[in-house]
Amino acid sequence: MKEKKKWIDCLRVLATFCVIVLHVSAPLLDQYGDISNFDWWVGNIYDGSTRFSVPLFLLITGALILPQTYSSMTMFFKKRFSRVVLPFAFWSFIYIMQSLLALLRNSEITDTNGVIHFFIMQIKEGASFHLWYIYLILGLYLFFPIINKWIKNSNRNEILYFIVLWSIITISNLSTLNQMIPNIELRYFSGYIGVPIIGYYLITTTFNRKKAIYTSLTLITIGTLMTLIGTFFVTKQNNKFIHSFYEYLTPNVILTAVGVFMLFKHYTPPLNKKITSAIFFFSKYSYGIYLVHILVRWYLFKIGISYAFVAPIVGIPITSILCFVISAFIVWGINKVPYGKYISG
């Protein structure tokens, strides 16, 4: 159990850091044609090669939550929603206030009705663009008690049946293939729900270690190359950045995420105590880091620390590391105040 927790912690830290990398490098992609090909490719490599981070979070979620047994739905929701909702509400309020103060300063909102409408729309649509993921998780949590019961009473072939159908439907949802599929109602097998189920399947299935490592490296290589090269060609063809290969439910991104998950499951390099302690620290505060990092990124960009403060090939990793570390210590600091652990994440 200790070893399982160790590699899961490593995965969680990697996914959290990769989210920051893709958010730091993302502005470069829209500048296709206005910047050098080299700098655009730097952005494409950093952003495209870290796209696996979001489905990786979902694989981890499925691997940790679905194998558990809950005595009641009340117990499940109390344990899961309290962990997610309070920090989400706190940081949403912070993002809303930041945006609201800017609008008030610019006189874009001038009365109480405008403030109330702004709050309602922010809560409905998300106070920051990255919070869409929390809405996704909350929706999945509503469905997990049902999936948990089904998965506990299903054999491996039945679970694999769902995964295969989900994979086919996910691939068929690509615009180029969608027109060829008969008009059969198949939405029951679509969406993000398939990714946690894959996570459950991978963590509860025993694979040959050597073959699993080779398969993992193959999946990572194929998935990443498809993302980078595919993005380049569709962008060049349209003479503007096209993000279709960046979507989190594209086969290339899912393949990379599955490959990373399997690789860490079957091979984690030996780590000394200091590195292990650091991984545990960042893993513990990963949710809070995710919630706050856009705010930190905004302030870093404002003072001139971004992908552009030096050459992007260097600026992206430096800015990402600073954003990651500062976010972690903000969350750690809030945890130290009374009741801070309930809202920090």
For residue 176, the Cα-to-chain-centroid distance in whole angstroms is 26
Give the pLDDT of residue 160.
94
- Would you say the C-alpha torsion 265, 269, 272, 277 has a positive or negative sign? negative
**What gap in Å lies between CA 65 and CA 55, rounded to an integer?**
15
Residue 24: its pLDDT value, please?
A: 97
Q: According to the model, what pLDDT value does residue 104 have?
A: 86
The two structure tokens encoding residue 38? 């080299």
Alpha-carbon distance of 43 to 228, in angstroms, equals 10
Structure tokens at 173: 């949802």
pLDDT tens per residue across all 345 residues of the chain? 445 578 999 999 999 999 999 999 999 999 999 999 999 999 999 999 999 999 999 999 999 999 988 777 777 787 777 789 999 999 999 999 999 988 888 888 888 888 888 889 998 888 999 999 999 999 999 999 889 889 989 999 999 999 998 998 888 776 555 555 666 666 677 789 999 999 999 999 989 999 999 999 999 999 999 999 999 999 999 999 999 999 999 999 999 999 999 999 998 778 888 999 999 999 999 999 999 999 999 999 999 999 989 999 999 999 999 999 999 999 999 999 998 888 888
pTM: 0.93
Please report the pLDDT score of residue 106 as a whole number: 86
**Number of CB atoms found within 10 A of residue 288's CB:** 25
The helix-helix angle for 286-302 and 273-284 (nearest 10°) equals 80
CA dist 110 and 173 (Å) reads 44
pLDDT the model gives residue 1: 44
